[in-house]
Amino acid sequence: MKKLLSIVLAALMCVSLVVLASCDMPTKDDGKYTVGICQLVPHPALDAATQGFKDALVAELGAENVEFLTENAGNDPAVCTTIVTNFVTKKVDLIMANATPALTAAVNGTDTIPILGTSITEYGTALGIDNFDGLVGVNISGTSDLAPLDQQAQMILDLFPEAETVAMLYASGEANSKYQVKVVTEYLEANGITVIDKAFSDSNDVSTVAASAAASADVIYIPTDNTAASCAETIGGVIGETPLIAGEQGICTGCGVATLTISYYDLGVATGKMAAKILKGEADISEMKIEYAETFTKKYNKERCELLGIDIEALEAAGYVAIEVEE
């Protein structure tokens, strides 16, 4: 009997120790979180997405409850990997990957920490998933900046009906740029337009390739390309009076005539709201489909249009609105 009592008491002591130990374990019951943000490169679109993401999370969780570790890779994918490795070491609660190389680094860096991408054009292309249906199914989800590419291509036909050749200007290393170029090329060729491929390797040769594109085509098209976005003013300085249709507002502001664009700030806000649900335990990221922008706006660059003699009244009559230039 005494032996049985001793066994029972020992078992109870073990249970007590386990309970006490579990009380000392850190939990997220305090509602405080650390979020790592890896942004590929500084330019207006990505900057706006990051700001929208932060503003939304602060609104949802409170400024005192979320710490942001914000890092910029300076357009170097290898630096994205270093940034993500640091986030994983610090055991952040969530990673926001702004642009495809940042997403790729995050995916390669962790299969447990939730990862939300933003400013990603096509997740199937970015992640190498065939027949992508919008659900990644693991620790990855996010938002897409994909605009209706057929409508962007149609803008070229509508605004420049006499154009015979269109140059595709984009970074050869950006998979999502290649995807957009492929779709737009097919649309234009189906409408009798000759398409010229003008891919640049990095920012070092963007000026030379852009000048070549301007010399060999009637119109230039740039997709939502991060390297082009960071070099938009450089491109604008070498293309002369060759009109350019851009995949998003930031590029259009620097060198374009017109664009069909989303609000990257709103895209960031949507991503932030997704993050809040994940952190608060209200949603399982593996069950969250990629979210897409709901509205798209036709915009024009007044300065470039005036330089090229494009009828601004006709643009506004067709539903285009002027890009507001910050002083």
Helix-helix angle 100-109:77-89, to 10 degrees: 40
Token pair 């943000």 is at which residue? 37
Q: Angle at Cα 42 formed by Cα 75 and Cα 219, nearest 5°? A: 80
Measured CA to CA, the distance from residue 68 to residue 323 in angstroms comes to: 31
CB 209 within 8 A of CB 169: yes
Q: What is this structure's pTM?
A: 0.86
Per residue of the chain (327 residues), give pLDDT as tens.
434 334 333 443 333 333 333 333 334 567 899 999 999 999 999 999 999 999 999 999 999 999 999 999 999 999 999 999 999 999 999 999 999 999 999 999 999 999 999 999 999 999 999 999 999 999 999 999 999 999 999 999 999 999 999 999 999 999 999 999 999 999 999 999 999 999 999 999 999 999 999 999 999 999 999 999 999 999 999 999 999 999 999 999 999 999 999 999 999 999 999 999 999 999 999 999 999 998 999 999 999 999 999 999 999 999 999 998 765
- 236's CB contacts (< 8 A; 6+ apart) are 254, 255, 304
* Overall residue count recorded for the chain in this entry: 327
pLDDT of residue 229: 96
CA distance 261 to 46: 13
Listed in sequence order, the residues at least 6 apart from 288 whose beta carbon sits closer than 8 Å to its beta carbon are: 135, 141, 274, 277, 278
To which H or E segment does residue 257 belong?
A: none
CA distance 49 to 80: 17
Residue 198: phi and psi, rounded to 5, are -130, 80
